Chains A and B, each alone.
Chain A
C-alpha cells in the first residue's frame, strides 16, 4: 500500500485516497469550438507511460482536497507531491 504525502495532512495510507487519473489535462475553455476528434482526445485519451507519470489524487477520507503526484509506473514509487496550480517539480534524479 502506497504511503501518500498529502500536501495538507501529511503522509497517509493509500486507502484514504482516490486516484483521479492523469494530471494537467485542462478542460477546454470553449468545448463547442472543438471538433469530435479534439473533444474525444480531451475526454478519453490518457498517457500510459513507462516511468514518470503525473496524476491527480484526492484525499477522500481526509481533507477531501485534490493534489498532484508524480509516480513511477515501473517501481510504483511516488517521486513528488504538489498542490494544484503548481508546476510539476523538476526532478533531478533519473527515474529508476
Chain B
C-alpha cells in the first residue's frame, strides 16, 4: 500500500502531484509539497540512519533545521551531497537518498557493536587513547576511526553544476517568513522601503503553516499566502524562498544561500548589505533527556503537530507525550484528532493549569502530573515508555510501563538567537521562559517574535510589525503599525525546566546531543576532569558541533553543566555562535571563481606566439611566463642548456613585458627617488639609467630594478615582475602620508609597454638590422643609457641594461605592437640563430653572474650589505630604512652573507632551501647550528657543473671553505666561492 501513514485529507501537500523517490534503494511515493522527512514518515519509515559514535539506530526527531539525526546522502556521482537533513530536502521526482554512517545498512549495522562496548568510549576517549605511537595512529587507528565515524561520502568527481554569487543592497532585510517576519516585512514594505524577505522554507508562513489560528478572519496559512501575494506585487520587495541567511557579519553584511529548484544554477550565494535587519528566526523546541531518549519514534512534540497538520503524515499509532510545559499539550490534542491513540500525557510538573487537565479528560486522555518518562524501550523503534513519579531529584514508587510507538517530547522552546549572537548581540537567561533570549543588541538589529522570546501569536505579530516599522523608520521612511485581530486557542503558558530526568541505575544512556552521541554521563565526566566552562565542555564532549550545531542540545547541556558546577545557567555562559547557521556547500562559496576563473591570468602580447611554440609556462604572480621552450622531446635541462648556450654565444630573445613599470613625474621626482632608493639619484643625467635597491623602513631589501631619467622631471622606473603592485603601493603610501609636500605623481605603465629583450654578443647585429639609423657603438650607446628610436618601423624606447652579463638591449614598444616587434626581431635574428629563452634560462644566466632576485636571495631579513651590495648604500643622505641599517642586529659580524656554492661533485644538485652546516659538526654537541641555506641552484652548461647561490654566516670571509649540505639522502660537500661565477671582470657587457 502506498503511503500507509498518510491521513486521508488535510495538509499543505498537492495530492494531484504524486512523486516517486527511493530511499536506501527502496521505491516510495510522496506528494509535491513534501520534504523527504515528511514523505518517509507518511511511508512509515522512521529508522533513517545510525549515530555518529555508537552506531545506534536513529530516526527523524524534528520537522525543521534542528533535526540532529535524520541525515541522508542525496544524489549520486559528481553531484551527490552528503549529510543533508531529511527535513531540509524538498521532495522531487526521482529523488534518491541513502543513509549515512551505516555499514552495511541502517537496519543491520556492524558498527553497533561499538554501542555494546560504549563504556570504553567515554568523553575524551580519543584524546586519552590514541597518542603515543604516531605509526599506530596513522596506519591503524585513524583509518579505522574514519571508517567508523565518517558521515556521508564526498563526490567522486568535480562538481559540474554552476553556482552563482549575487550582491544586493536593501533598507530592511527580514530573516524568517513566519508570523513575525511576515508582519515585519509588511510594515516595512508599506513604508516604501526596499525590503528583502528570506526564509529557508520553499513556502512562506513558518509556524502558521501548522497552527490552528485565525488572523483577520483567515486561517494562518491563508493569511500568510495573502501577505506573500501582496509583498510579491511590490517593486521594492524581493522575496527569497529556499534561502537560508547563514552568516551575519560586520556592518549589517549578511550572507544567504538560495537553493534553486531547477534551472542552470544549482545554488546562489547572496551577499546582502542591509541598513536595518529584522530577525524573525523563530524558536526550536528542546527534547527531554532520559534513558534511551534517542530511539526512532521519539519526536519533538511540535514536530508531531507539524507532520500531522502541514503534511498529513502520521508519525505513529499510539503516542505518549512527555512534557514540562503547557505549550506541548497542543500536540496531544492534534494527535488525538488525527486518530492517534494518546495513551498518556506525562508532565514533570506537580502542578499544572487545571484547564489543561480538563481538556485532556474531555478527550479521555490519561494525565500524569509530577511524573516523568524514565526510560524508552525498543531498539529500532520505541516500543514503550517507563513512567516514574518525580520527587525532587529522585524517582519514587513503582515504575509503570506504557506501550507506544511514538513518544512526543517537549522541554520548552529555545529562541533561534544564532544570527543575533553573530551580530555581537548579548544574551540573557530568562528564568520564567527557561531559555536564553536577546538582551542587549547592537544598533541596526531588531529581534521579533519567538527568536526574541515572544511566543504568543498576538504578541509575535505585534512585535513583528513594530520591528518592521522601526526598521523602516530608521532608514528614513514613514511607517506605521496596524493591529491585527488574532484568534488562537493556544497560549504559550508555563514551563518548569527539567534538564535531565534523574536516574538511579547506570543502565541506559541519557543523550544530550544526539548528533554527537554525547550523554549526561559524558558531561558529568568532563566537569569532573575540569572541563567545566561552556567552551571547554563543547570541545571535550563535542556537544553542539555538527550539522545541527546543537540546536536541540545546547541549552540542555548548559542546564546540566550549571547543575554539575552548582551555578545558575546565566553564569555558565554559552558557546560562541559562528557562521554558518546551516552547512554551506563549497560549490556555493566558490561560485564562478573556479578553474580558469579562480584567479585572473595576466598575459603578455606575445602569449599566443609562446603557446604556439610549445613553451612550458610558470606562474609569476598572476603572470603566465614561458619557463623554457622545449624542442621536440627536450626536457628542461636540455632546453635550458641550449637556450643558455645560444644566448652566451650568439643571441637570445626574451619576453620581459611583465616587468613592473612606473612613470614618475613632477618637480620633486629626483628628491623622491633619492628618498626611496638606497643610492643617490640627484645627479643622474637625462638619457641615463641606474640600478637601485629599495628597502623597507626596517632596512630589509624590498625590491630592485633600473630607473631611467627621461627628462628633467620625468623618470621611468622598472620593478620586479612580482613586486610591481607592492612597490607602487609602497611609493604611494610614503608620498601621500609622509611627504605630501613633494610634487610627484606615479602611474603604473606595466601594461602600456611591451618589452622585447635581446641578449648576447650578436644582439647588436640584430638591433642594427631593425634600427639602421641608430648608433650602436659602445661609445654611441653606452651601458645604462636609453635611446628613443624607430625599431622595425615602430616607435621604441631602448634601454641598455643587462641581467645576463651579456650585451643586452631591452626594446620597449606600445603594448599592442609587442608581437610585431617580436616577429621582426625573430626575422632579423635568423641569420644568427636567434633563440627564444624563458625565465629558467634567465635565472641561470643571472645566477652565473651573481645577480640577485628579490624574494629568492632575499627573504625579508636580508640587508643590502648581506647581498654584497653595501656600495649601493649612500652614507650621505637619508632614505627609507637607512636608520635601521645601523641597528645592532644589522651590524652583527655573523650575519648571513651572499656567496657562491660549488658542489664537490659537479653532478650533485643542491636543492634550493637546503640547510648548510659545518663539516665538523659531529664533534659538536647538538643542536647542530645551521649556518646558512641555498637560495638558488641550477645546472650551468657554461661551467659544466651544478652551482648555487647561498646565504652563509660570515660568508664573504669564508671563500674557499668546504661546508656540508644537509640533504634527504645524506650530506654532501660543497665549497664556498665568490658569487660571480662567469665573466667576473665584466668583459662581455659590451659584446665581443
Which residues of chain A have a CB within 8 Å of any CB of chain B?
A: 1-3, 13-14, 18, 20, 27-28, 30-32, 34, 36, 39-40, 43, 56, 58, 60, 64-66, 75-77, 84-85
Contacts and interface: CB of A to CB of B under 8 A. Distances in A.
A43 B736 contact: no
The 3 closest A-B pairs by CB, nearest first: A31-B883, A3-B251, A1-B253
B733 A20 contact: yes
B740 A84 contact: yes
B878 A32 contact: yes
Contacts of B250: 1-2, 14, 76-77
B94 interface: no
Interface in B416-438: 424
B732 interface: yes
B424 A32 contact: no
Given A34-B883, A84-B737, 19 more contacts: A1-B250, A1-B251, A3-B253, A13-B273, A14-B251, A18-B729, A20-B737, A27-B697, A27-B738, A28-B883, A30-B878, A31-B882, A32-B878, A32-B882, A36-B887, A43-B698, A56-B737, A64-B732, A66-B736
B697 A43 contact: yes
A22 B262 CA distance: 50
Nearest to B882: A31
B888 interface: yes
Contacts of B442: 75
A39 B887 contact: yes
13 contacts: A1-B249, A1-B250, A18-B729, A20-B733, A20-B737, A27-B697, A27-B738, A34-B883, A43-B698, A65-B736, A76-B424, A84-B737, A84-B740
Contacts of A40: 887
B884 interface: yes
A2 B884 CA distance: 35
Given A1-B251, A75-B442, A39 B884 contact: yes
Contacts of A20: 733, 737
Given A32-B878, A32-B883, A34-B883, A66 B698 contact: no
B740 A85 contact: yes
A5 B732 CA distance: 20
B251 A2 contact: yes
Given A2-B250, A75-B424, A84 B736 contact: yes
A12 to B, nearest CB: 11
Contacts of B253: 1, 3, 13
Interface in B844-896: 878, 882-884, 887-888
Contacts of A18: 729
Contacts of A30: 878
Interface string B731-754: 011001110100000000000000
A63 to B, nearest CB: 11
A31 B878 contact: yes
Nearest to B255: A1
Interface in B225-268: 249-253
Contacts of A66: 732-733, 736-737
A58 B883 contact: no
A3 B250 CA distance: 8
A66 B697 CA distance: 18
A43 B884 contact: yes
A30 B733 CA distance: 19
Interface in B192-251: 249-251
